[in-house]
Structure 1
């Protein structure tokens, strides 16, 4: 039997913004439990919980101060156990974030490590002596701005932080650190978790020689300059080191002791993420799945989608990707790709149909099923340290993290009885769950329908993918499993296009989830953001001609 995660659909819950149960304005675990039926009705396979462990919240939970405790902001270990139990009762798996490339500077490990150079955890973090002039040991920058090195006068050394200075990097070259991290994972596996989403999975190891990074020779296609100096380097030595793969094998060996569990790694690398995704999931003894940021940017072309998918399976034929169009780190795709559509509703349906028909697993971010756009926030409303630092060129990640609008009426639409930690604005409020639930033609209704349709076509979960030669803006491919095949043709533009379909079997009809598609003889007319799904026998010689 195929593993549940292979071709499965994961629904990402950002706990702060899902549902607040106690009126403090921040979502929590009891709130998620209260809304589990919404997730179950969608027809997804699994919930991914963004960080819930104890944290000072400098980076919204991605700075952990206790790996084995639920932050009181979100509830308790009892609430966690109840959530897993009630999700399982609804047929939903649950995976959770493991943020182990770094900790909070308030973690006891770091509090001990920073004391001196001889304590038991002195080598648990990445420490380095200054250069003779007192400057840091190399040129590595931090993702959130400035140098990736912070001075500690007690030790007379710098420590590495790839993100905030309050997020010191663990030293994975130390076997004790690796074991401590695996012990943390085992703690949660023993509580019944179904696996992990591994944050910044390619940041675990650094170059032991601390060599400086070279300049980035790949220019930004969308800006004449770099908003963040981090993008001006090729991060050859500060991350994505070869030692990483051996540790991932240790993670997989641990998960193999808990049948049915899975892993999905986040690969943060702008120029080689597809290659790393393949490397980190190949061989059957590394991670189960990985995702990168290739589909989380501005590109919305047939060539881009085809190139990434073909590159992945060429680099790792036995690897497995997890594709997504939105998450908690990037502007929502409804806003990123708005220029390619005249109708938000049609773009929402096309994006759903596309990501759910590609070869691989899928991650949907909370609110995608409502067609939520990015929230336009004022500077004084921001909480994200990245947005505060790089405003206004980079407005940060708060715009995709605003609360889910549940009920009809005024904001915050049932999310909280108090003041929400981020505001619910009119563009999001009007797309509330209750209103869409009552509308059979809503984006929410479509998501439920297409997820059910996907489950009825095993070729979409397990089948091969073969792209057909077409020009822009037409993307066409076939998904095939056994004697069943699906022809998928997408018009990735806001203008109608005519495509020739050759050698179609007589009486061919479109699948019900198709949009803005009409067939007259051999001519397929795809309207703005139109697409056609056609079920065919695997032996069919049907072809697509365009351009």
Structure 2
């Protein structure tokens, strides 16, 4: 890995969900020492950095995304000393460390909120978003919570409503108050001083709200399956103009960037979810004075068509300027990609071709733990759910637990994750068959395909720094080039079960890919793509 200050451009960031990675003390919950214990495994993949999902002190109503102390470790995950050891171990392995920052909201058990709700005139009274009821006692406006129902919760002590974009135990902080911004930036700097290399910013476009509390208009058209849209959730029926993605957000992002610039080599990747996410990604990363990278939910939908991939890429490229994208096709909030995009035909071969696709696009990449094993979504019964989102919307939406189950290290009762008889979520039997130990000895496994291709990627600067130009797409086929410093790669992907034939007038010199990946071949001036295959060649100029 390079040591330059822009190491993050084209970097592969491996997301670790600590609760489910490895349990070092056998209490059934993964922890920071467990991550440290598996650092050699992470490094062996060929990734550049790890992103740790929240490990801060929390009542765990939303499993760490409800923070009650931004500058300490929850005891279930370990101690600050354990975190220091993790940082040291990662850096010794040549890995950067990024941590999740949940700045939009805190837990209702955070001391700031406990004080804020006491009265209208205490020191923290205006640190959260409070509003009077309508004359008839109803909520201040029509804003809705992502998790269902109104985004307002009545507090009997203040006799006011407070805003919560997520759970009612996650009150939104008031970014219009300069003291709040200063306090949050202090918590960011706390971790910079601890040696972290960057931050993944949860809900990075939610920070500011409209101070006039204007109602959101309805969407003109609501389409099931489009980005973030589920018709069982009323949140999808509004055009969210006033409760998020406000123009004031830019001012805060500039202050945040100014702080990070004092720590050379540190970086940010913001999560952006809105109806105009690609435009927001561009705005948030342009000019080198805001975020370094953003990713959206555009590739976290059920639309796996190569036409959708091309449209998404070309749309962001058209408006990106000097900004920089980061792409995720799976994370801790969505159904695992092997199931979401694989459907009834989920297979190792399909996981491999989607992997090559993601790692060949222009931008950085967030890779969620278990994707390198081709894990499908775990099937859970209602009684096994712990995710409040899933519990609220069952059975139409089964929540996020199916992608958060423990990492399978061995094919045994508890998957090598823990020696406890009871883990915080059950370990799927289907996952045990795909355990790391099962795939290590199989040169054709998804794990080896990831490892091998990640090392191929490092050897080709075109895939890390190059421009991208699309040549052809249909529902299951994508053809494009990556160009850097006079060198050009030709890449063709087939995500279907049928052979595909791609004629070309280019002069191509085939590249040999690792044996774990199904490869197409050149027949005169025709690229032949067997089912679930990829083809790489150098363009001879």
Provide TM-score, normalisation by structure 1.
Answer: 0.95
Measure, in 2, the Cα distance between the counterparts of 1:515 and 1:522.
Answer: 20
Shift in Å, 1:342: 4.1
1:383 and 2:378 aligned: no
Measure, in 2, the Cα distance between the counterparts of 1:23 and 1:164.
Answer: 30
1:182 and 2:185 aligned: yes
1:278 and 2:282 aligned: yes
Measure, in 1, the Cα distance between the counterparts of 2:217 and 2:386.
Answer: 32
Q: Alpha carbon RMSD of aligned pairs, Å? A: 1.5
> Structure 2: any 5+ residue segments left out of the alignment?
none
String of CA shifts for 1:464-500, please: whole Å, max 9, x gaps.
1111144443211110101211111112322221111
Provide TM-score, normalisation by structure 2.
Answer: 0.96
Q: Is the 8 A contact 2:67 2:102 kept in 1?
A: yes
Q: What residue in structure 1 maps to residue 445 of structure 2? A: 442
Q: Is the 8 A contact 2:5 2:265 kept in 1?
A: no
Within-5 A mapping of 1:161-176? 161-176=164-179
Equivalent residue in structure 2 for 1:105, among 102, 105, 108: 108
String of CA shifts for 1:261-303, please: whole Å, max 9, x gaps.
000000021x211111111101000000000100011111122
Q: What residue in structure 1 maps to residue 377 of structure 2? A: 374
1:146/1:465 CA distance change after superposition, 3 Å? same
SS in 2 for 1:218: coil
Q: What residue in structure 1 maps to residue 208 of structure 2? A: 205
Shift in Å, 1:517: 1.1
1:317 and 2:318 aligned: no
Measure, in 2, the Cα distance between the counterparts of 1:191 and 1:56.
Answer: 24
Q: Is the 8 A contact 1:412 1:423 kept in 2?
A: no
Q: What residue in structure 2 maps to residue 135 of structure 1? A: 138
Q: Is the 8 A contact 1:405 1:424 kept in 2?
A: yes
Shift in Å, 1:530: 1.7
How many residues get paired? 534
Measure, in 2, the Cα distance between the counterparts of 1:304 and 1:239.
Answer: 25
Equivalent residue in structure 1 for 2:494, among 491, 495, 515: 491
Shift in Å, 1:441: 1.3
Measure, in 1, the Cα distance between the counterparts of 2:114 and 2:412.
Answer: 48
Q: What residue in structure 2 maps to residue 287 of structure 1? A: 291
SS in 1 for 2:302: coil
Q: What residue in structure 1 maps to residue 266 of structure 2? A: 261
Equivalent residue in structure 2 for 1:404, among 402, 407, 415: 407
1:463 and 2:449 aligned: no
Within-5 A mapping of 1:341-360? 342=345, 344-360=347-363
SS in 1 for 2:504: strand
Measure, in 2, the Cα distance between the counterparts of 1:498 and 1:322.
Answer: 31
1:393 and 2:393 aligned: no
Measure, in 2, the Cα distance between the counterparts of 1:21 and 1:254.
Answer: 35
Q: What residue in structure 1 maps to residue 62 of structure 2? A: 59
1:509 and 2:510 aligned: yes
Shift in Å, 1:2: 6.8
Q: What residue in structure 1 maps to residue 88 of structure 2? A: 85
Shift in Å, 1:221: 3.5
Q: Is the 8 A contact 2:5 2:264 kept in 1?
A: no
Q: Is the 8 A contact 2:415 2:435 kept in 1?
A: no
Q: What residue in structure 1 maps to residue 237 of structure 2? A: 232
SS in 1 for 2:33: helix
Measure, in 1, the Cα distance between the counterparts of 2:408 and 2:424.
Answer: 13
String of CA shifts for 1:299-335, please: whole Å, max 9, x gaps.
1112211111111121121111110110000001100
Measure, in 2, the Cα distance between the counterparts of 1:299 and 1:474.
Answer: 14
Equivalent residue in structure 2 for 1:302, among 302, 306, 315: 306
Measure, in 2, the Cα distance between the counterparts of 1:501 and 1:342.
Answer: 30
Q: Is the 8 A contact 1:51 1:98 kept in 2?
A: yes
String of CA shifts for 1:108-154, please: whole Å, max 9, x gaps.
00000000100111110000000000001100111111110000111
1:118 and 2:88 aligned: no
Give the stretch that moved more between structures: 446-455 or 521-530: 521-530
Measure, in 2, the Cα distance between the counterparts of 1:37 and 1:289.
Answer: 27
Q: What residue in structure 1 maps to residue 246 of structure 2? A: 241
Measure, in 1, the Cα distance between the counterparts of 2:106 and 2:43.
Answer: 33
Shift in Å, 1:30: 0.7
SS in 2 for 1:23: coil
1:470/1:29 CA distance change after superposition, 3 Å? closer
Q: Is the 8 A contact 1:18 1:415 kept in 2?
A: no
1:416/1:262 CA distance change after superposition, 3 Å? farther
Q: Is the 8 A contact 2:257 2:290 kept in 1?
A: yes
Equivalent residue in structure 2 for 1:17, among 15, 20, 38: 20
String of CA shifts for 1:367-426, please: whole Å, max 9, x gaps.
011110100100000000000000011100000000001013333334343411111111
> Structure 1: any 5+ residue segments left out of the alignment?
541-547
Q: Is the 8 A contact 1:342 1:494 kept in 2?
A: no
Equivalent residue in structure 2 for 1:45, among 24, 45, 48: 48
Q: Is the 8 A contact 1:405 1:415 kept in 2?
A: no
Measure, in 1, the Cα distance between the counterparts of 2:419 and 2:413.
Answer: 12
SS in 2 for 1:323: strand
SS in 2 for 1:102: coil
Equivalent residue in structure 2 for 1:217, among 197, 215, 220: 220
